[in-house]
Structure formats: C-alpha cells, structure tokens
Amino acid sequence: MNHFVAGAVAALLTIVADASLSAPTLNGSQALAGQVQSLFAAKCTECHGADVERPKGKFGYVLDLGRVAANPKMIVPGNPAKSELYQLVLHNEMPDPKGDVSPLTPVQKNLVKEWIEAGAPADVSDGNAVGNHPLTLSQRIIRDIGQFHPPSSHFPIALLIVALPAEILWKRTGKDSWREIVRYCVLLGAAAAVITATLGWCDAFVSNFAGTSAEVLQWHRWFGTATAIWAVLTAGLFERCCQKGNPPGLRSGFRLVLLAGIILVSATGYLGASLIYGLNHYIW
C-alpha cells in the first residue's frame, strides 16, 4: 500500500508539472476580453443580445466588444468613472432589477472596471487558439477532457467529508461496518480526488481568467492539488492504522488528519465557487 501511495503522489505531481509547462497562456488583454465577454453573455444578452427583436436602448450587440468599446455613450476607454456601462452595473441598474438576472457581484463589477481601465480590449480567443497560435489536436483533447472537472468535483468532496463522521461512529460503536465505510470513503475518495485534480488542470489548460479571478484560479489549482495529495496520503495512513502492532495514538492522529482535510476540501470548494459567484458569495 505504501508503494501505491508513493506512486500515486508521484504520478499526480508529474501530471501537474507537465500541465504547468505545456499549457498555453492567453496574453493579458485577450484573457480580460474573453472573461468580460463571458460575463456579458451570462448577464446581458437577455436584453441586449443580437437575437433580441427589440433590444433595450437600441443596444443589441453586447457580445461585440469592439463595437461596445467604440460606443462613446457607453465606454470611455481608460476611464470607468465616465463610462455609462460601468456606472450602470456599479449601481445595480443593469442587469434590469425587474428582470430574472441577478446583479453583478463585486468581483464581476471589478472585472468590468479592469476591462475599461485597460482600454476596453476586444481581442477574444475563440477557444481553439491562443493568440495567433492554434491549439494542437492533443491540446484540444486536453481542453475538452477538462470540461468534466466541475461535475467530478462533488464526488471526492462528499466521500472525504463523510469519512470523519463515519470514523467517529466507528469509535463510539466499535462496529466493523463503520470502519469499512471509512475505508470505502477514504480509498475511493482519494482516487476520485486525483482524477478531479487532474481534470482541473486540464480544465484550466486554456484559461481566460484575468485580474482577481486569475489569482483565485491559481489558488484553487494548488489547493485542489494539495487536497488530492492529502487524500492519497490519508488513504495510506488509514491502511497503516488497520495493521497490528501500531501505536494507539496513530488512530487519533488519523482523525486529526481527516479534520484538517475537511478544512482543505472546503477551502478548495470555496475558491472554485468564487470563480463563478465571486469571493463574497456567502451572504449571511
């Protein structure tokens, strides 16, 4: 089992290193433009999309960033304070408060601000190229595989978190069935965590995050990688705890490791959600 744990950790580190070295990167303005266009697609096309029969304010080209930036009534490049579009989203006047779309989060508003401050760049990657360099077939395959990262992430989160209450119930009842549940959760959770972390690196292979979101993505990547390594090491520790002749305190140490892991898993999940909902998406 120890050889398996060492091999799994080494394999994960190799995958991460390869992904870091081979991943293409968008230039700053292109990344910013891509993220702003994605934001406008999610928040603005209901009223200002090209397929809207009567767009509000005769503004039906919100995804054409070049045309948006060239409209002096909406954008003053380099000056968010004098740009009507930014003022509208800043004060929650757009999207329409009476509509079905929620207002922009502080992080999303800041993204629009950064875009205007950068001169409202319009050059957007089409997802099949980075700058002037088209993706190779292998790079496109990696990008496409990475799209399975979001749905895969819930599986290890659930298993690894459930392992701790199952461990507590085993300690209180002494029933071997609870110990087997812990083994199932830890071993399967570790395998799922490695797969999810790998898919996460593939998902970010062609990233269009910029500004604060780009920093959040970096933290999310490394927290996720650390979580996968922790899960594999925890699985090895559990197997050692089950062997005869080990000190009694080893099992208590295993429980502390599980608790620390739950905190790590939760932090990783929070950062992942922040890429979509913003850093302050918890509202109490």
pLDDT (tens, 9 = 90+) of the chain, 284 residues, equals 555 555 555 555 455 455 444 444 455 677 778 788 888 888 887 887 777 777 777 777 788 888 888 888 889 989 999 999 899 889 988 888 887 788 888 888 888 998 899 888 877 655 555 544 566 777 778 778 888 888 888 888 999 999 999 999 998 998 989 999 999 999 999 999 999 999 988 887 666 565 666 788 889 999 999 999 999 999 999 988 888 777 878 888 999 999 999 999 999 998 888 776 666 667 66
Nearest Cα to Cα of residue 276 among 229, 236, 217, 188: 217
Nearest Cα to Cα of residue 197 among 16, 18, 17, 21: 16
Q: Is residue 133 part of a domain?
A: no
Q: What is the pLDDT of residue 132?
A: 47
Count of beta carbons in the 10 Å neighbourhood of residue 235: 25
Residue whose pair of structure tokens reads 């957007």 in the numeric block:
124
Q: What is the pLDDT of residue 111?
A: 87
Q: Is residue 128 part of a domain?
A: no
Residues in the chain: 284
Residue whose pair of structure tokens reads 């593939």 in the numeric block:
202
Q: Is residue 17 part of a domain?
A: yes
- Clarify whether residues 206 and 260 are in a common domain: yes
- Clarify whether residues 16 and 48 are in a common domain: no
188: amino acid identity, one letter = L
Integer angstrom CA distances of residue 69 from 31, 36, 62, 109, 186? 16, 12, 10, 17, 52
Q: Is residue 56 part of a domain?
A: yes
- Give the H/E segment covering residue 160: helix 149-173
Q: How many Cα atoms are found within 13 Å in the side-chain-facing hemisphere of 240? A: 19
Q: 275 is written with which tokens?
A: 């890429």
Q: 74 is written with which tokens?
A: 């909406």
Q: Cα 211 to the chain's mean position, in Å?
A: 15
Query: Mapping DSSP to helix (H, G, I), strand (E, B) and coil, where does residue 14 land?
Result: helix
Q: What is the pLDDT of residue 125?
A: 59
Count of beta carbons in the 10 Å neighbourhood of residue 255: 15
- Clarify whether residues 214 and 145 are in a common domain: yes
Nearest Cα to Cα of residue 63 among 76, 77, 81, 44: 44
- Clarify whether residues 51 and 69 are in a common domain: yes
* pTM flag (> 0.85): no
- Clarify whether residues 147 and 58 are in a common domain: no
Domain encompassing residue 50: 28-117
For the chain, where are the E strands, in sequence order?
129-130, 133-134
Nearest Cα to Cα of residue 198 among 164, 161, 232: 232
What is the distance in angstroms between the CA of the first residue and the CA of the last residue of the chain? 44
Q: Is residue 131 part of a domain?
A: no
Q: What is the pLDDT of residue 20?
A: 46
- Clarify whether residues 225 and 162 are in a common domain: yes
- Clarify whether residues 17 and 147 are in a common domain: yes
- Clarify whether residues 163 and 230 are in a common domain: yes
Q: What is the pLDDT of residue 22?
A: 47
Q: Is residue 185 part of a domain?
A: yes
Phi, psi of 123 (to 5 degrees): -75, 110
132: amino acid identity, one letter = N
Nearest Cα to Cα of residue 100 among 26, 159, 46, 24: 46
Q: Is residue 97 part of a domain?
A: yes
CATH code, domain with 199: 1.20.1420
> What residues form DSSP beta bridges with 76?
none
10: amino acid identity, one letter = A
- Clarify whether residues 53 and 145 are in a common domain: no
Q: What is the pLDDT of residue 69?
A: 84
Q: 30 is written with which tokens?
A: 């292109």
- Clarify whether residues 265 and 236 are in a common domain: yes
- Clarify whether residues 113 and 205 are in a common domain: no
